[in-house]
Amino acid sequence: MALDDLNEWCNKWLLKLNASKCKALSVSGRRATAKTIYSVLTATGRQDLESVKTIKDVGVIIDEKLCFKDHINEKVNKAYMMLGIIKRNFKHLDKDAFKNLYKAMVRSHLEYAVCSWSPRYKKDIDLIEKVQRRATKLVAPCKNKSYENRLRYLDLPTLKFRRIRGDMIEAYKIITDLYDTEAAPILEMSTTTMTRGSERKLNKALCRTELRRHFFTQRITDTWNSLPSDIRNSGTLNVFKNALDRFWRNQAVYFDYKSEITGTGNRSWKY
């Protein structure tokens, strides 16, 4: 009935659906999901939709278990492909040239829509970080350095740190209504006023599954609430970014992706 209503709406606004291109994807945490047949009414009669286990939506491959394994593998392979192009066409790279090429051609593939598919398994985190580990060896002075020292020399953060920072930026945009409130995820604000610095804190909901615990709206809560109230209450997005970078300047995870974000930061972060 829902699909028929959608089809009727599309026909009304002259956006005719092509049933042969429509797919059905069932998302479930169970090992075996029930096989439900979905169909839509077309001009030639009712047509069943093809049932699939993965589907690409705006550049992100979504699977029935929401583990994003296929998407991660595709993006890693694409990043290696771009890295190969750089290696074949640039024999001698200095620090600045490498950073410009790497950020534009390689890292962009590993960070597109990452807030929706951010890896939660250690093997996937290692797989993504390995791309940057290999890329940093293209700079001659870095070849005999450890990965952490290569990042320090190039002043590049780990991809894990970039993902956490990106989560905080997205959270700020949602909380300050920089996105369409009808389309953005719902972040429940904490109503407690018993502690200092309680402004713009998030309420942490209970989760029964590990998958749910890693959803964007759940995984950001502790990190967001650990930020000083002055940062959470920043007036603009640019002010928030600059204040966050100053506060997290000495975080170990900046150069060591096996570390975690701690609740403490650089106390001299203010301008």
The DSSP line for 48-66 is EPEE-SEEEETTEEEETTS
Q: What is the pLDDT of residue 265?
A: 63
The whole-angstrom separation of Cα 89 and Cα 30 is 48
Partner residues linked to 57 by β-bridges: 60
Task: Tell me 39's DSSP state.
Answer: E
Q: Report the predicted TM-score, pTM, of the whole model to 2 decimal places.
A: 0.87
211 three-class SS: helix
| Residue 100 buriedness (CB in 10 A; 0-12 / 13-18 / 19+) | exposed
Tokens of 243: 């204040």
- Where the chain has pLDDT below 50, the residues are 267-271
Q: Which residues pair with 41 in a beta bridge?
A: 46
Report the distance separating Cα 206 and Cα 221, nearest Å.
12
pLDDT at 81: 97
Would you state the structure tokens that stand for residue 125, as one six-digit string?
């985190």
Q: What is the Cα–Cα distance from 31 to 191, expressed in whole angstroms?
A: 38
Inter-residue contact 185 to 179 (CB < 8 Å): no
DSSP reduced 3-state for 208:
coil
